[in-house]
Amino acid sequence: MKKLFLALLLPLSLVLTQCKQPGPAGQQTPVQFIKQVTVDSVMLKLSKQYTDAGKTRMERGVRQCAALWTAGDGNDQEFQAFCLKYFVNDPGKLDVLFQRITDNIESVNGHFNMISLDLKRGMQLEIGDMLDVDPVFAAYEPGSHFNDDFFANKLAFVTILNFPSWTLKEKEELGPKWTRHEWAYARMGDQFTARVPADVNVKIAEALTAADNYISNYNIYMGNLLDDQKKTHFAKDMKLISHWNLRDELKSNYNKTEEGLLKQKMIYQVMLRIINQDIPGNVINNPALQWNPFTNKVFSNGSEVANTAEPDTRYEFFLTNFKVMKAMDPFTPMNPTFIARSFDGGMELRQEQVEKLFTDLCSSPEVKQVGDLISKRLGRPLLPFDIWYDGFKARSSMNMEMLDKTTRARYPDTKAFEADIPNILVKLGFKPEKAKEIASHITVDPARGSGHAWGAQMKGDKNHLRTRIGREGMDYKGYNIAVHELGHNVEQTISLNFVDNYMMQGVPNTAFTEAFAFTFQKHDLELLGMKNTDPDKEALAAIDNFWMSYEIMGVSLLDMKVWQWLYNNPGASKKELKETVVKTAIEIWNQYYAPVFGVKDTPILAIYSHMIDNPLYLSNYPVGHLIDFQLDQFFQGKNFADEAIRIYSAGRLIPQVWMKNAVGSEISIKPMLDATDAGLKKLSANPVSTAK
């Protein structure tokens, strides 16, 4: 599900300050080296030299260069000489400069991305046993010195001087009136907005790679789980990664009566052990031992053996991520925390706005109504793991063994899935030639973990779909994830190869690629030739989207609140962090979930692995659900493929401008609530029609 782009994980904000300012916990930002009198002199000389100069662009460029110029770049006289030499006033020459910088940055980004992708093969792909050197290679970040190098040779300053950056507030106010050309100039201005030392970037890359390696190899051997009678209930060779596969296996057991419920309770107990870190360390990724997650006893060949709990390793990785991200703070004074960089700088949505969307939906009366409906369909009171209730999907009433058999026969390996991509796209409405063109930009790799999509960063390179396929072929859960990742790859292809300028390539933030991936994922059964003839399918789909959003919004609120706590308690230990995560998860549960479920004090919201290996990424999912829902409504009655190309070839506008251009309105929970209300009314006459 993840997109492992360091650039997306490390969004940089604007640096426009010209004086010492207090940062987090009294931290001081650097004093501007260039004197204000020099800045004023440069602007005066340029305005006299170019009487027709764009005053705003020139003044912003000079000020922003001065804010980032250090003693190592030269003295005040050298700063002045630089600005007078490199400022370009003529519009035609400015366009030539813009294109030259664009082409070269595309080449640099693209080749760095290719190297990074190759070096992670040993850790991320099933290409043989993972060697001790593989995580070391994977941690190497070829672009870690890019920022330093481009400031040292002053190419960054040439860019800043001629293509200054704009704040999020300014983009919100001015963006709707900008031309595509002006937007491309603005995105060029986002290229160099901070000077983060290479050693800081290297430490961040190392920490994220280590966390990714930890999570990617956090497997539970399900066939070794025992109940109190020492009986097993899962397939002998079933190995599930936390949390993705555990969650999906839990979902798959909603149509398996009492045995399915027992499996769900067992998975839930495993999750609680992971969260609380009382899981025995010797059962993690170990096929040789049996484990009763209820009693927490470990066995070898039927005899109990000693065990020691995992030593809060989960939270040690979380804490390390905080420390390396915080180390960047002094170099981004206008967004001086990772929280600010992730939302204002990365998502380009304010954290307060995102949080309000989430709390408004989680507090809506529709939550209790949907919860009551689920309880009726299940024929029992809700249990905490019913946040993952999967009974509104068409596949919920289908035999999973039959689905597994179908997907394994169709996709025995990655080559088979890759070969079928053009056919999949045609089924979704893409014209054959366009489907073939898009598919030519995608290659499929066998993943060690649950899989992810890794996009190209220059035209001519391929997007990689890394998916997990077992020895017997791709099971249905793997197929469902692969279709999701294919959605990412198709978006990556459109938003890179079909945009009018490389500086506009991509999407506003990762929520938008998640939205597109969700759209693909919901068509997975249709792509297998299994039509949903249920007259309630639209009502069910609306309620399903609502319930998924409700679940992941709580997880995202937890992620945000824990990061806020860390900034208020920067010296916390991993034990204190664990206690805070558990305590905060329970508080959020009790506020937004206990009134619906009738169960208090569970920390289950803390199970998501993203909190460990993908810091502050989780908010992209629920925002993606909202966007997905609005897009899905817009697509109705239209050709999906044609509209997808039109919408996603708009590239990287800011979110609200992108949404207005795409569907005519900003991101909102109202369309989802309205559709949920309509769905509840439609299903009220027969709430258990598809219950199992």
Q: Is the separation of the CB atoms in 148 and 118 below 8 Å?
A: no
Torsion sign, CA atoms 101, 102, 104, 105: positive
Placement of tokens 């492992």 in the chain: 4
Q: Which two tokens stand for residue 166?
A: 């704009």
pLDDT at 94: 96
Element (H, E) at 64: helix 55-68
280 DSSP β-pair partners: 309
pLDDT at 477: 87
Round to whole Å and give the CA distance between 262 and 291.
15
Round to whole Å and give the CA distance between 537 and 294.
38
300 DSSP β-pair partners: 303
Confidence of residue 470 (pLDDT cuts 50, 70, 90): confident
Q: What is the pLDDT of residues 481-526, one digit of tens each?
A: 999 999 999 999 999 999 999 999 999 988 899 889 988 998 999 9
Give the closest residue to 298 by CA, choosing from 313, 219, 309: 309
Round to whole Å and give the CA distance between 509 and 8.
8
pLDDT at 510: 84
* Mean per-residue pLDDT of the chain: 91
Confidence of residue 633 (pLDDT cuts 50, 70, 90): confident
Round to whole Å and give the CA distance between 626 and 538.
16
Helix, strand, or coil (residue 114):
helix
Give the closest residue to 333 by CA, choosing from 64, 9, 655: 64
Q: What is the CA radius of gyration of the chain?
A: 26
Q: What is the pLDDT of residues 216-233, one digit of tens each?
A: 999 999 999 999 999 999
pLDDT at 15: 31
| Between 22 and 376, the higher pLDDT residue | 376
pLDDT at 16: 31
Q: What is the pLDDT of residues 381-397, one digit of tens each?
A: 999 999 999 988 765 55
pLDDT at 507: 95
Round to whole Å and give the CA distance between 256 and 271.
20
pLDDT at 9: 38
Sheet containing strand 290-292, edge to edge, reads 290-292, 297-300, 303-305
Round to whole Å and give the CA distance between 682 and 432.
38
pLDDT at 176: 94
Confidence of residue 273 (pLDDT cuts 50, 70, 90): very high
**Cα-to-chain-centroid distance, residue 651:** 17
Helix, strand, or coil (residue 304):
strand
